[in-house]
Amino acid sequence: MKNKIVLFDIDYTLFDTATFKDSSLTKFSLYKEIMPVLQALAGVAELGIFSKGEDSFQNLKLQETGIENFFRQENVHVFEDKDTNLKGVIDKYKDLKIYIVDDRLATLYNAKTISPAVSTIWIKRGPFAKDESLLYSFSPDATINNLTEVLSIVSGVIR
């Protein structure tokens, strides 16, 4: 077993939610860098999902985009309220180095509050990219615009 886990949010992180909404909820697509990033990361870390939403619908997004096989079912965590379930998810992986990649700064702040050892990565895309309200009191470990940047972070090139 690998000693790292990368937990991804789905919407605006892996899944191109804007395209989905613009297509009247018919076009399931990923951002263009997602497939090569997941393939590369799978070699160095466990991959998981930590997402907000309805479980079967979020899983449908993973299936329709062809990325569900990157995530073992026990590493897929979908909740209506992510923040109330955050501690349990962090505790589950306490023996691993945890990276959380999310477009919501508040989720990353809460993760860091629960466990300062968690590496928080803020992907600045989607509607939450403009929400910098927490930045005066909290800085994520990394702020990125494209998931290719996660590779060097998780591989240890950048700490």
- The domains located in the chain, with CATH, are 4-155 (3.40.50.1000)
Q: What is the pLDDT of residue 148?
A: 95
Q: Assess whether pLDDT exceeds 70 at residue 25.
A: yes
Question: What are the pLDDT digits (tens) for 34-53?
Answer: 999 999 999 999 999 999 99
User: pTM here?
Assistant: 0.94
8 A C-beta contact, residue 79 and residue 85: yes
